[in-house]
Amino acid sequence: MFKTIFEKSVPGRCAVLPAPLDVPEAVLPEALRRNTPLALPEMSELDVIRHFTRLSQRNYGVDAQFYPLGSCTMKYNPKVAETVAALPGFAGLHPHLASDAAYLEDCQGALELVYEMERLLAEIGGMKAGCLQPMAGAHGELTGVLLIAAYHRDRNDTARDTILIPDSAHGTNPASAAIAGFKVKEIPSNDTGTIDFDAFKALLGPRVAGVMLTCPNTHGFFEPHVADIAALAHDAGALMYYDGANLNAIMGQCRPGDLGFDVMHFNLHKTFGTPHGMGGPGSGAIAANERLVPYLPSPRVIRTENGFALRNDERTIGKMAPFFGSFLVAVRAYAYIRALGGEGLKAASGMAVLNANYVLRRLRDVFPAAYDGWCMHECLLTAAPLTARNGIRALDIAKALLDRGFHAPTVYFPLTVKESLMIEPTETESKETLDAFCDAMAEIARLAAASRRPSMPRPSPFPSAASTKSAPRANSTAGYRLPMRVLDLSFHEPAVNLALDEVLLDSAERGRAGECLRFWECPVPFVVLGVSQKVQEEVCEDACQRDGVPILRRCSAGGCVLQGPGSLNFSLVLSYERGPALRNIRESYCYILCRIRERLATRGVRASLEGIADLAVDGRKVSGNAQKRRKSFVLHHGTVLYRVDALAMGRYLKEPRDRPAYRGNRPHESFVSVLPLGPDELRRAVREAFDAPEVTVEPLPDELAEARMLAQEKYLNPAWTLRR
C-alpha radius of gyration, the chain, whole number: 32
The whole-number pLDDT of residue 475 equals 35
**For 103-125, what is each residue's pLDDT tens digit?**
888 899 999 999 999 999 999 99
Specify the 3-state DSSP secondary structure of 281: coil
Burial of 508 (0-12, 13-18, 19+ CB in 10 A): buried
Phi/psi at 699 (5° precision): -65, 165
Q: How many CB atoms lie within 10 A of CB 304?
A: 8
**For 272-296, what is each residue's pLDDT tens digit?**
999 886 556 789 999 999 999 999 9
CA 264, CA 125: separation in Å to the nearest integer? 8
**For 688-721, what is each residue's pLDDT tens digit?**
999 898 888 889 878 998 999 999 999 999 999 9
Whether residue 481 has pLDDT greater than 70: no
Q: How many CB atoms lie within 10 A of CB 418?
A: 14
Can you name the residues that pair with 243 across neighbouring β-strands?
Answer: 214
**For 679-689, what is each residue's pLDDT tens digit?**
999 999 999 99
**Mean pLDDT across the chain:** 91
Least trusted range by pLDDT, from 273-277, 333-337, 504-508, 719-723: 273-277
CA 571, CA 519: separation in Å to the nearest integer? 6
- The residue type found at 12 is G
- Which CA distances in Å does 424 have to 169, 427, 576? 16, 9, 37
- Going by C-alpha positions, the residue among 699, 78, 150 that lies closest to residue 333 is 78
Find out whether 367 and 409 touch, Cβ atoms under 8 Å.
no
The whole-number pLDDT of residue 278 equals 53
- Going by C-alpha positions, the residue among 223, 219, 217 that lies closest to residue 245 is 217
Q: How many CB atoms lie within 10 A of CB 513?
A: 28
The whole-number pLDDT of residue 567 equals 96
- The residue type found at 721 is T
CA 572, CA 484: separation in Å to the nearest integer? 10
Question: At 724, is the pLDDT very low, low, confident or very high (cuts 50, 70, 90)?
Answer: low
The whole-number pLDDT of residue 56 equals 83
Least trusted range by pLDDT, from 131-135, 396-400, 471-475: 471-475
User: In sequence order, what are the residues at sequence separation of 6 or more whose Cβ sits closer than 8 angstroms to the Cβ of residue 397?
Assistant: 367, 383, 386, 408, 411, 421, 441, 444, 448
Find out whether 568 and 639 touch, Cβ atoms under 8 Å.
yes
The reply to whether omega before 701 is within 30° of 0 (cis) is no
CA 449, CA 456: separation in Å to the nearest integer? 13
* 274 CA to centre of own chain: 19
Question: At 100, is the pLDDT very low, low, confident or very high (cuts 50, 70, 90)?
Answer: confident
CA 290, CA 293: separation in Å to the nearest integer? 5
pTM of the model: 0.65
Phi/psi at 622 (5° precision): -120, -10
CA 697, CA 180: separation in Å to the nearest integer? 50
Whether residue 157 has pLDDT greater than 90: yes
Higher local confidence (pLDDT), 265 or 514: 265
Positive or negative CA dihedral for 692, 696, 700, 705?
positive
Whether residue 353 has pLDDT greater than 60: yes
Whether residue 442 has pLDDT greater than 70: yes
The whole-number pLDDT of residue 513 equals 87
- Going by C-alpha positions, the residue among 416, 484, 427 that lies closest to residue 451 is 484
Question: At 463, is the pLDDT very low, low, confident or very high (cuts 50, 70, 90)?
Answer: very low
Beta strands in 369-455 (DSSP E): 379-382, 410-411, 420-423
The whole-number pLDDT of residue 37 equals 82
What is the enclosing helix (H) or strand (E) of 70? none
- Going by C-alpha positions, the residue among 485, 517, 555 that lies closest to residue 717 is 555
The whole-number pLDDT of residue 1 equals 53
DSSP 202-230: HH-STTEEEEEEESS-TTS---TTHHHHH
Positive or negative CA dihedral for 19, 22, 25, 26?
negative
CA 615, CA 607: separation in Å to the nearest integer? 6
- Eight-class DSSP state of 525: -
**For 635-668, what is each residue's pLDDT tens digit?**
999 999 999 888 899 999 999 888 899 999 999 9
The whole-number pLDDT of residue 349 equals 97
Whether residue 457 has pLDDT greater than 60: no
Whether residue 453 has pLDDT greater than 60: no
CA 397, CA 368: separation in Å to the nearest integer? 14
CA 376, CA 368: separation in Å to the nearest integer? 17
**For 509-542, what is each residue's pLDDT tens digit?**
988 888 999 999 999 999 999 999 999 999 999 9
Phi/psi at 62 (5° precision): -70, -20
DSSP 144-203: HHHHHHHHHHHTT-TT--EEEEETTS-THHHHHHHHTT-EEEEEPB-TTSSB-HHHHHHH
Indicate the angle between helix axes 585-601 and 679-689, nearest 10 degrees: 120
The whole-number pLDDT of residue 452 equals 53
The whole-number pLDDT of residue 467 equals 34
- Going by C-alpha positions, the residue among 252, 226, 442, 439 that lies closest to residue 353 is 252
- Going by C-alpha positions, the residue among 642, 629, 336, 697 that lies closest to residue 486 is 697
Find out whether 104 and 98 touch, Cβ atoms under 8 Å.
yes
The reply to whether omega before 166 is within 30° of 0 (cis) is no
b/e per residue, 546-562, with b = 16+ CB within 10 A? eeebbbbbbbbbbbbbb
